Amino acid sequence: MIHEQKPYKLTREDELILKSYMTLAEGLGSYLGESCEVILHSLTDLEHSVVMISGGAHSGRTKGSPITDLGLSLISEIEEHPDTDHLNYFNKDESGADIKSCTIVIRGSNHKPIGFLCINCYLGTPLDTILRGLTPPGEASAAASLEESFAGDTASLIGSALRSARDQVFRDPSVSSGNINKEIVLLLYEKGIFNLKDAVNEVAHQMHISKNTVYMHLRNIQK
């Protein structure tokens, strides 16, 4: 039986905030894989608080399931200590499986809690299941593999994108020597590099061409 708790009434803005977390929950569940369960709770109806489950649904709960007793305790904890934003803990499910959990408080427009984002990592997940989620896809799914630069500053980010663009252009035999710079600028443009502040100057500097030349290629691309 659920302990009686005064429900939270959401404003329209609160509803949009909670809805935005659905995308986060879905993305986290997809990223973390079958070993983890990501659950989004709404505090408007504690007896049917689960609004979304993503990843591996290990607990057997579904949309419309109630909040847990620990969730109820966390609500009381927040009322006593309003700065509480998350809770990390180890737990066991009904079958005795070991879980590492994190419950994150979702706050609304007036800073009052409106929901919880819970992540449950099942520590007994078979190793081959975990590795399957960590292994790059095969050639049949090559489109799912993307390159990403974790640069520490803008110049390094542009430099990484520039090296990648150069490699791509130089591997393409259809690009004439007179069009190399134009094609490189095009690839940088398609990657959104020129949305960065002072990107034209930095690209010109690293390509050893004038910024007017970069602007000329950009004008031609935009036409």
Residues 212 and 188 in one domain: yes
Q: Per the domain annotation, does 1 fall within a domain? A: no
Residues 19 and 129 in one domain: yes
Q: Kindly give the pairing relationship between strand 113-122 and strand 36-42.
A: antiparallel
Residues 163 and 115 in one domain: no
For residue 167, the enclosing domain spans 147-222
Q: What is the sign, positive or negative, of the torsion defined by CA atoms of 63, 65, 70, 75?
A: positive
For residue range 120-172, what is the model confidence (pLDDT) as tens digits?
888 877 677 666 666 666 544 444 455 655 667 888 888 888 998 999 999 99
Specify the number of domains making up the chain.
2
Residues 152 and 126 in one domain: no
For residue range 35-61, what is the model confidence (pLDDT) as tens digits?
889 999 999 888 888 999 988 777 778
Q: Per the domain annotation, does 35 fall within a domain? A: yes
Residue where a domain stops, chosen among 106, 133, 160: 133
Residues 38 and 117 in one domain: yes
How far is 160 from 163, CA to CA, in rounded Å? 5
Q: Per the domain annotation, does 178 fall within a domain? A: yes
Q: What is the sign, positive or negative, of the torsion defined by CA atoms of 167, 170, 175, 177?
A: positive
Q: Per the domain annotation, does 167 fall within a domain? A: yes
